[in-house]
Amino acid sequence: MDKNGNALLNYLKSDPIDLRVSDLNKSFPEKEVLTGINLHVSPSETHVILGKSGAGKSVLLKCICGLELYNSGTIYLNGEQIQSETDLSRYKIGFVFQSSALFNSMTVSDNVGIYLREHRLVKNEDQYKTLVKGALELVGLEGVEAQFPSELSGGMKRRVATARVLVMSPDLILFDEPTTGLDPMMTKTIGELIVTIKESIDTTQVVVTHDIEFAKYIADRISVISDGKIIDVGDPDNLETSENDVVKGFISKKFDEKEEKYEKRI
Amino acid sequence: MSELFIATGGILRLLAHTLYWCKDAIWNIDKILYQITEIGNNTLPVAALIALSSGAVLTIQSGPALASFGIQESLGGIVGLSMVREIGPVMASILIAGRMGSAMTAELGSMSVYDEIDALKTMNINPVRFLVMPRFIAMIVSLPVLVLFMDVIGWFGGAIVANVNPEIGLSFQVYFRNLADLVSIKAVFNGLIKAFIFGVIISIVSCYIGLRTKGGPREIGRSVTKAVVLSFILVLVSDYFITRILQSINID
């Protein structure tokens, strides 16, 4: 991405975060969701948390950005222990929701620019429009500014949600299942988008997914989570050679499960 | 029982946060004006109809009885005072709670269910400042204005029936002279104070229940019903206490 060609890239001032999660526990009244989670994500790293549905991946992301309270454990951002909302508010953490969570009553332009407007970060309407356009270009969307979220496809919504996060100059971006419900072509587009963000913006990214191929495509490192515990951490290439039985089972099971389901159906 | 205390505490907490964020009203004037326009567009025609028929019914109910004693000329004062003190504020509040309070709960409930509130929080945008404060200010400004509008329409509704109905047969001049003699500025102000307090109750209750909605579309429907019913109860119950307080401080 040419830095001079995109207004947003010239505007961004991200400061990639070092994220460390130490012995994090979270339980709901009826279920223990996270048990002794330890995780380290280096600045500018794209770290994937891989696991099946119900493993506690999304809850972990929500604990990191303060949307869920945790029972015990510690979260450090750049070595600073996060103890309150005030501590957390010093960092710009973008969250791309699984549902996209776009504001349905607002246009795409207003959705993307809401952070700029509400924090009064732009000097005038021209700068606002240029930055919003730049963010949309960065995620591969053009000419959709005046549309409403209900007029967009699932993949477009996910990209608008990403653009909304990009205008924050995020120090850390959290993606919650960014490919759920998308076709393989759109999954590839989202994968390319995450790689583009990594190449063009100096920011830390944590991506939660259950899609192994997608994870291998975007990740610098992968943590495998199962039943609320991180059971293995490593480079994408090393994942398939893991000695951990659960990891081996998870990787091979994915394909076995598909076959079994197909056989049952016919 | 514990739920009642939690809800009361939550509503009072939301009210305190909303009052605090009113300091940012000037920066959110566009949102406040939008909400005022919404309230106006959605309620004015129905409010006019309700006020007109309320004034007319008051007249048709009390007019013939007064005429049988030969004191029908005091009808203007009776209808005028009833409208400004009770019927205007209560009817307007019931209408606003049903029409706008329900819409607020549905909108905020839907935003809550579909992660939009969480999205605001991750962008360091306070949901109370962004969503509740503009609705709160719009409501406390609009409701007293709507009450004044309903008062005037109600007076005219009464005047028309008093003039047209052969059992009453009261001229416009006599009706409005008596109304002007009996309806003081203090009485009108009394109705406006009530409307202001009802506006606080409806907006905060509707927003509180909307923001606390969790689950799916069915829960949004339940929240709307809960907000409307609770608003009605609180408006009607508080009406007595507000009246009593206003009487004791000699405003009523």
Query: Is A230 a domain residue?
Result: yes
Which residues of chain A fall short of a pLDDT of 70?
1-5, 250-266
* B223/chain A closest Cα distance in angstroms: 20
Element (H, E) at B185: helix B185-211
Query: Is A61 a domain residue?
Result: yes
Residue A113 — left, alpha, or beta (φ > 0 → left; ψ -120 to 50 → alpha)? alpha
Question: CA A176, A139, A170, A236: dihedral to nearest 10 degrees?
Answer: 50
Rounded-to-integer distance, Cα B30 and Cα A189, Å: 37
Residue B145 exposed, middle or buried by CB count within 10 Å (0-12, 13-18, 19+): middle
- β-pairing, A80-81 vs A93-96, is unpaired
Q: Which of B19, B34, B39 is nearest to B92 (CA)?
A: B39
User: What's the angle, vertex CA A199, arms to CA A197 and CA A202, rounded to 5?
Assistant: 75
Rounded-to-integer distance, Cα A39 and Cα A21, Å: 5
Rounded-to-integer distance, Cα A188 and Cα A158, Å: 13
Which residues make beta-bridge pairs with A19?
A41, A77
- Tell me the pLDDT tens digit for each residue of B67-84: 888 888 888 999 999 999
Q: Locate tokens 């047969």: which residue?
A: B169
Instruction: Number of A to B CB contacts under 8 A, please give it.
Output: 46
- β-pairing, A46-50 vs A204-209, is parallel
| pLDDT at B87 > cutoff 70 | yes
Q: Which of A37, A45, A43 is nearest to A18 (CA)?
A: A43
Q: Which residues on B lie below 8 Å from A102 (Cβ)?
A: 116, 119
What's the order of all strands across the beta sheet hosting A72-77? Answer: A31-41, A19-28, A72-77, A80-81
By C-alpha distance, the chain B residue nearest A113 is B123
**Residues of chain A in Cβ contact (below 8 Å) with chain B:** 62, 65-67, 89, 92-95, 97, 99, 101-105, 114-115, 118-120, 164, 168
Number of domains forming the structure of chain A? 1
Local structure of residue A16 (DSSP, 8 states): P
Mean pLDDT throughout B114-126?
94
Instruction: Count Cα neighbours of A227 within 13 Å in the Cβ-side half-sphere.
Output: 4
The CATH number of residue A226's host domain is 3.40.50.300
Of residues A84 and B117, the one with the higher pLDDT is B117
Rounded-to-integer distance, Cα B32 and Cα B23, Å: 13
By C-alpha distance, the chain B residue nearest A63 is B122
- Tell me the pLDDT tens digit for each residue of B236-248: 999 999 999 998 8
User: What's the angle, vertex CA B15, arms to CA B14 and CA B16, rounded to 5?
Assistant: 90
Asked if B123 reaches chain A (Cβ–Cβ under 8 Å), the answer is: yes
Asked if B181 reaches chain A (Cβ–Cβ under 8 Å), the answer is: no
Within a 10 A sphere around the Cβ of A99, how many other Cβ atoms?
19
Say whether A18 sits in a helix, a strand or coil.
coil
| pLDDT at B9 > cutoff 80 | yes
Contacts of A232 (CB under 8 A, 6+ apart): A223, A224, A239, A242, A244, A246, A247
Written as six digits, the tokens of A178 are 């960014």
Q: Which residues on B lie below 8 Å from A114 (Cβ)?
A: 123, 125
Interface pTM, i.e. ipTM: 0.87
Query: Is A141 a domain residue?
Result: no
Q: Which residues on B lie below 8 Å from A99 (Cβ)?
A: 114-115
Number of domains forming the structure of chain B? 1
| CA A186 to chain CA centroid, nearest Å | 16
Residue numbers of the domain that contains B26: 2-248
Residue B251 is predicted with a pLDDT of: 60
**pTM above 0.90?**
no
By C-alpha distance, the chain B residue nearest A105 is B107
Q: Do B121 and A66 touch (CB under 8 A)?
A: yes
| pLDDT at B252 > cutoff 70 | no
Phi/psi at A67 (nearest 5 deg)? -80, -25
Q: Do A114 and B125 touch (CB under 8 A)?
A: yes
Phi/psi at B96 (nearest 5 deg)? -65, -40
Residue B237 is predicted with a pLDDT of: 95
Asked if B34 reaches chain A (Cβ–Cβ under 8 Å), the answer is: no
Query: Is A29 a domain residue?
Result: yes
Residue A79 — left, alpha, or beta (φ > 0 → left; ψ -120 to 50 → alpha)? left
Residue numbers of the domain that contains A37: 11-104+169-265
Within a 10 A sphere around the Cβ of B190, how many other Cβ atoms?
22
Mean pLDDT throughout B134-161?
95
* B138/chain A closest Cα distance in angstroms: 18
| Amino acid occupying residue B206 | S
Nearest beta carbon to residue B115 from set A93, A101, A119: A101
Of residues A264 and B37, the one with the higher pLDDT is B37
Q: Which residues on A lie below 8 Å from B128 (Cβ)?
A: none
Residue A66 — left, alpha, or beta (φ > 0 → left; ψ -120 to 50 → alpha)? left
Picking from B35, B123, B126, B130 by the largest number of A CB atoms within 10 A of its own CB, the best residue to mutate is: B123
Mean pLDDT throughout B187-203?
95
For chain B, the first-to-last Cα distance in angstroms comes to 35
Q: Which residues on B lie below 8 Å from A95 (Cβ)?
A: 118-119, 122
Picking from B35, B38, B124 by the largest number of A CB atoms within 10 A of its own CB, the best residue to mutate is: B124
Which residues make beta-bridge pairs with A34?
A26
